[in-house]
């Protein structure tokens, strides 16, 4: 059997020990984010697997052209906007993500933002540290109990947010997701609705859609202005799903009570991003899935999937299933080439 080269970008919980614990058939190669262009491409030219592609090493056409041996690519989470899936499919490169593995972690985070905003925890904390020109009444909050929650994207994360809010706070839950059947939405305790209805009838709207050409800017100025006056918007999806400029203008106008933003077009966002000037914005640097337990679950599952796919086993979370016949041809050719080289 060949010795597979697995290239992985820096990440909080390294995948290398997890792969090493499963198999000895891998060379584990770290690609530092600060590597030079020449150094990075020289590493990627020998890669059979590329895990967790990130800027400046996104797996786009330019990088793929430098990866003739590449068989499998996987992100470090559910989102795969850092990988050109169409180009991978054309080249016979299988792509699979880690969807659902830290969904509970992200769901907890979204609910924590709701609670922090509703009970005005951040303004109170800031004021306590600043001066004493306030009274307790300055931080009067509002209960979540009995309010309406709108979920945009009712997959693994969105459905768990709905479960927590319905069972914990007796919230009425509306859900919009064109890829989930109405029957499935109702089975998870939510009421299926159009995007317009979710936005216009919800006290809190939380966004959990992946970034794609269909979801880019799906929440723009018109959609934001449909929301209730004093509603809260939370996004732990991907930067670009919510139009940042439009959100800033709508928040500044006073139409919304606030926002919780964990994902940004530029990550981390510029210190001059206007959204960071607003006191009613809870801003975090893409940490919704950042717990020790979440990192570990993703890394273990990703390692298991890498080992399995190079054994010819179809990955559980494959993104481009149409690639599989071509992938198998390339996998077998790679194995044959390696065996002939060893024999020679």
Do the beta carbons of residue 131 and residue 310 sit within 8 Å?
no
Question: In which band, very low, low, confident or very high, does the pLDDT at 199 lie, cut at 50, 70 and 90?
Answer: very high
CA atoms within 13 A of residue 306's CA, in its CB half-sphere: 35
Each residue of 201-260: pLDDT tens digit? 999 999 999 888 899 999 999 999 999 999 999 999 999 999 999 999 999 999 999 999
Residue 130: the pLDDT is 94
Residue 254: the pLDDT is 95
Q: Are strands 232-235 and 172-176 parallel, antiparallel or unpaired?
A: unpaired
184-193, Cβ contacts within 8 angstroms, sequence gap of 24 or more:
185/154, 188/154, 188/159, 188/162, 188/163, 189/162, 189/163, 190/151, 190/154, 190/159, 190/162, 190/166, 193/150
Residue 172: the pLDDT is 98
- What average pLDDT is seen over the chain? 93
Q: Which domains occur in the chain, in start order?
A: 4-100+292-343 (3.40.50.720), 103-283 (3.40.50.720)
pTM: 0.86
Report which of 268, 265, 302, 296 is spatially closest to residue 284, judged by C-alpha positions. 268
**Portion of the chain with pLDDT greater than 90, in percent:** 81
SS3 at position 49: strand
SS3 at position 237: coil
Catalytic positions: 238, 267, 286
Angle between helices 103-118 and 292-309 (to 10 degrees): 150
Residue 330: the pLDDT is 97
Each residue of 48-96: pLDDT tens digit? 999 999 888 899 999 999 999 999 999 988 888 899 999 999 999 999 9
């Amino acid at each position: 059997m060949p010795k597979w080269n697995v290239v992985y970008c820096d990440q909080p919980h390294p995948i290398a020990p997890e792969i090493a614990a499963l198999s000895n058939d891998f060379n584990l190669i770290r690609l530092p984010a600060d590597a030079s262009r020449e150094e990075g491409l020289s590493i990627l030219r020998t890669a059979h697997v590329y895990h967790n592609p990130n800027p400046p090493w996104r797996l786009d056409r330019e990088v793929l052209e430098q990866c003739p041996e590449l068989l499998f690519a996987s992100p470090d989470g559910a989102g795969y906007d850092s990988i050109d899936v169409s180009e991978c499919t054309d080249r016979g490169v299988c792509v699979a993500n880690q969807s659902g593995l830290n969904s509970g972690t992200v769901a907890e985070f979204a609910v924590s933002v709701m609670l922090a905003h509703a009970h005005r925890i951040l303004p109170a904390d800031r004021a306590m540290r600043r001066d004493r020109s306030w009274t307790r009444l300055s931080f009067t909050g509002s209960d979540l109990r009995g309010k309406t929650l709108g979920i945009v994207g009712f997959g693994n994360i969105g459905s768990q947010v709905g479960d927590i809010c319905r069972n914990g706070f007796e919230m009425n839950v509306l859900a919009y997701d064109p890829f989930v059947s109405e029957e499935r939405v109702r089975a998870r305790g939510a009421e299926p609705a159009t995007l317009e209805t979710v936005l216009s009838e919800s006290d809190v709207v939380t966004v959990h859609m992946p970034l794609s050409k269909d979801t880019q800017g799906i929440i723009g100025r018109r959609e934001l202005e449909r929301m209730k006056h004093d509603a809260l918007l939370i996004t732990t999806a991907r930067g670009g799903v919510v139009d940042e400029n439009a959100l800033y203008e709508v928040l500044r106008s006073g139409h919304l009570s606030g926002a919780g933003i964990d994902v940004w077009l530029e990550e981390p966002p510029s210190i001059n991003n206007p959204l960071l000037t607003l006191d009613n914005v809870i801003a975090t640097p893409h940490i919704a899935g950042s717990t020790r337990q979440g990192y570990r679950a993703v890394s273990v599952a990703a390692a298991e999937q890498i080992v399995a796919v190079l054994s010819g086993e179809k990955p559980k979370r494959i993104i481009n299933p149409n690639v599989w016949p071509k992938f198998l041809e390339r996998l077998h050719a790679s194995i044959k080439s390696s065996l002939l080289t060893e024999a020679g």
